[in-house]
Amino acid sequence: MPGEEQDGRSEGLVKLTFPLDASAWHGSATEILWAEKVTDSQYRLRNTPFYAYGVSAEDVVFAREQDGRLVFAGVARHGGHSTYRIIKAKGSDPVRFQERWAPLQKLGCSYEEGPGGLLAVDVPPELTIHAAYSLLEQGEEARVWSFEEGHCGHPLQVQR
């Protein structure tokens, strides 16, 4: 999280390493997420992953020490958040992006911005995942962004 250490948000947090497949679209071998110690081997994720699949902010995960680093070893329990990744369209117009993002923000979604127009989107558990997903699809259909699901932590109920 760029700038996080300077603004104090990382105070009391540790860096947790997630091994990744470097041959995947992102080309990264690892991702570092901030986490809060829960027990000797469990940590609560405090930011949204850009590349790791199957985890979201507020999940409690297992970690083990390896070569002086804490390394992800599995999920202890999910926190109910969902993670999506938005990649802004090439030459993306900031006004069009904001028009499409505003309804997601109004629902309660937030994002962290990464390299190359990549956004890690957090959908909190109190939101209806179908509404958020529909808005993500609308942004993609309007060619403002493309998106993918990193982890759906919401219960999936049939819409009527």
Q: What is the pLDDT of residues 111-138, one digit of tens each?
A: 999 988 899 999 999 998 999 999 999 9
Domains annotated on the chain, with CATH: 4-77 (no CATH), 82-151 (3.30.70)
Asked whether 145 and 100 are in contact (CB, 8 A), the reply is yes
Containing H/E element for 96? Answer: helix 94-107
Asked whether 35 and 68 are in contact (CB, 8 A), the reply is no
Q: What φ, ψ does residue 110 adopt, rounded to 5°?
A: -140, 170
First to last CA, the chain: 39
pLDDT tens-digit profile of 68-107?
999 999 999 999 999 999 999 988 899 999 999 999 999 9
Comparing C-alpha atoms, which of 112, 157, 150, 111 is closest to residue 131?
A: 157
The beta strands (E) that lie in the chain are given as: 14-19, 30-37, 42-45, 60-66, 69-77, 82-88, 110-113, 118-123, 145-151
Is pTM beyond 0.75? Reply is yes
